[in-house]
Amino acid sequence: MKTGKGLSIAALVCGIVSIILAWFYMVNIVAIILGVLGIIFAVIGMKQAKAAGLPTGLATAGLVLAIIGLVFASIGFLSCTVCVCVSGGCLTKTVNDLAQYAG
């Protein structure tokens, strides 16, 4: 009989790692993937633990941490991407203005 403990631990680890990686630009894509995997592992682990009549605390903790990591990583990725795009647009305008003034 499957107890869901292994999947619950995997969800917890994915959640913790996704929270840590969420703070680094371009690495937070990995954090988004780990957050989604953590949510999937936690839900499956929770269903298996309930079916076996065991506590679901570990799966719940993994689910919460995976959701937090996914949210942090998504916000970080979107905000950094917008910042890089805006900076690129400003840089292009500045280079064009300098070229116009120089020549």
**Residue 8: alpha-carbon gap to chain centroid:** 18
Question: How many structural domains comprise the chain?
Answer: 1
pTM of the model: 0.82
Q: Which residues of 34-73 are buried (b: 16+ CB within 10 A; e: fewer)?
A: bbbbbbbbbbbbbebbeeeebebebbbbbbbbbbbbbebb
Which residues constitute the domain of residue 35?
A: 5-102
Q: Give the closest residue to 40 by CA, choosing from 62, 69, 18.
A: 62
Rounded CA gap, 44 and 66, in Å? 14
> Who has greater pLDDT, 100 or 53?
53
Q: What confidence tens digit (pLDDT) does each residue in 29-80 have?
A: 999 999 999 999 999 999 999 999 999 999 999 999 999 999 999 999 998 8
d(CA 79, CA 98): 28
Encoding tokens for residue 9? 């631990």
